[in-house]
Amino acid sequence: MTSPNTGTTPKPATATRVLVLNSGSSSVKYQLLDMADGARLAVGLVERIGEETSRLVHTPLTGGAERRERTAPIADHRAALEAVAAELKADGTGLDSPELAAIGHRVVHGGLKFSAPTVITDEVLAEVERLVPVAPLHNPANITGIRTAQALRPDLPQVAVFDTAFHTTMPEYAARYAIDAETADAHRIRRYGFHGTSHAYVSRRTAQLLGKDPSEVNVIVLHLGNGASASAVAGGRCVDTSMGLTPLEGLVMGTRSGDIDPAVVFHLKRVAGMSDDEIDVLLNKKSGLVGLCGDNDMREIRRRIDEGGDQAAALAFDVYIHRLKKYIGAYYAVLGTVDAVAFTAGVGENAAPVRAAAVAGLEELGLAVDAGLNAVRSDEPRLISPEYARVAVAVVPTDEELEIAQQVYALVRSEAAVPGNRGPTGPAHD
Ligand code: ADP
């Protein structure tokens, strides 16, 4: 680390802005939000970091400035963040602004230690590093993003918000795999779940839509993007989720298989002669919708079905819906009573046929979709179930950046903003 991170200086009440960074292996996505009113001041991304054709797209959302885009080599994450800082400075919202309260980092894997947003210290970073073996694709990039931001603003609170945090409330019997306990413990093999920031935001927003406190409702959240996961949320706490040790488990996704018999892996090795890496690529990148029909975009799959009666696309759609329905039924049973089923992310927010098919035939469970309401396109949270239905069906656009910014801001404004402390949402499980 370039400078010892000694933590935070309390910010003046005027410091209301939070920069949210989502650092991937070759990209950085960012948003600058003002938490005085939740307004987005700028959004952008840098992609293809380390290549000749790196691209930066920066969109200021206040002050009437134009969207800016350029393609030029950006060598590494440090150069990428410096380029982002320069763009923000040009808008008058630079990283040196006294109005910047904190930088929030999306961190994919927080293991069991982090159940709430956490001010990043050397110790916290070391723990995120210890989790690399269970999140080899994601945590290293997140760490690079954090180190780079710390180097640019060593005096500013940097806060980690973990994708796994919302799921740390799962009871042990939902988190455990039924495998040899010693082996599981030795290698930290258990179900962690992902997309937690989205499940937290959407379940809370759904309660709001029903005019209830999150503690009063049970919600099944279906986060259907290119990656997809379901969660069962009882009174605001996650009690089960479909992703596991890694994001491969659970629903059928754009390119991931979701649940399969684990013996398929041995079969691919012993009978098909595939290597571990080949199997990894097969299950993560060449399976799911793309594996079944060659397309992972639900728009294209629907077009192939609607226009040409394409059989492979129809089968892919049916497999996707069948799995979704099984999880709705399973989480209904886990929760006992359900107040709402909420659809979110790219497919959940936009694909009316997916929503209709997922709850078709579940009237006995109190679930139904009103065809007219389901067909309405909107960016607002909304109910699509008929009035008579016992269980509300909702479409709730997710907003992970807003959720991260809110959690970060709440933490840095609270007295808990001392190094290593966790936010107000719950105790850590050590
Ligand atoms: P992620 O963040 O996981 O990459 P998103 O939540 O942005 O994914 O979802 C992307 C997916 O959403 C696309 O792959 C596509 O299948 C689906 N999608 C986006 N818009 C529509 C639409 N209008 N109709 C159907 N599916 C859509």
Q: How far apart are CA 158 and CA 18, in angstroms?
A: 10
The per-residue pLDDT for 63 is 78
Report, in angstroms and rounded to the nearest whole number, the Rg of the chain calculated over CA atoms: 22
Structure confidence by residue, pLDDT tens digits, 170-195: 999 999 999 999 999 999 999 999 99
Q: 298 in ligand 1 pocket by Cβ < 6 Å?
A: yes
| CB 197, CB 210: distance < 8 Å | no
Distance from Cα 349 to the centre of ligand 1, integer Å: 8
Distance from Cα 195 to the centre of ligand 1, integer Å: 15
Structure confidence by residue, pLDDT tens digits, 117-161: 999 999 999 999 999 988 887 888 899 999 999 999 999 999 999
Structure confidence by residue, pLDDT tens digits, 284-293: 999 999 999 9
Identify the structural domains of the chain with CATH numbers, from first to last. Answer: 17-162 (3.30.420.40), 212-399 (3.30.420.40)
Alpha-carbon separation of residue 113 from 107, 127, 192, 368, 400 (angstroms): 13, 8, 11, 40, 21
- Which of 39, 3, 14, 44 lies closest to 27 in space, CA to CA? 44
- The separation between the first and the last C-alpha atoms of the chain, rounded to the nearest angstrom, is 25
Q: 228 in ligand 1 pocket by Cβ < 6 Å?
A: no
- Which of 423, 427, 425, 328 lies closest to 119 in space, CA to CA? 423
Q: Which atom of ligand 1 is nearest to the CA of 254?
A: 14
Which residues, in sequence order, are bridge partners of residue 422? 118
Structure confidence by residue, pLDDT tens digits, 19-31: 999 988 888 999 9
| CB 106, CB 20: distance < 8 Å | yes
Which pTM was predicted? 0.91
The per-residue pLDDT for 417 is 46
Q: Which atom of ligand 1 is nearest to the CA of 398?
A: 6
Distance from Cα 377 to the centre of ligand 1, integer Å: 14
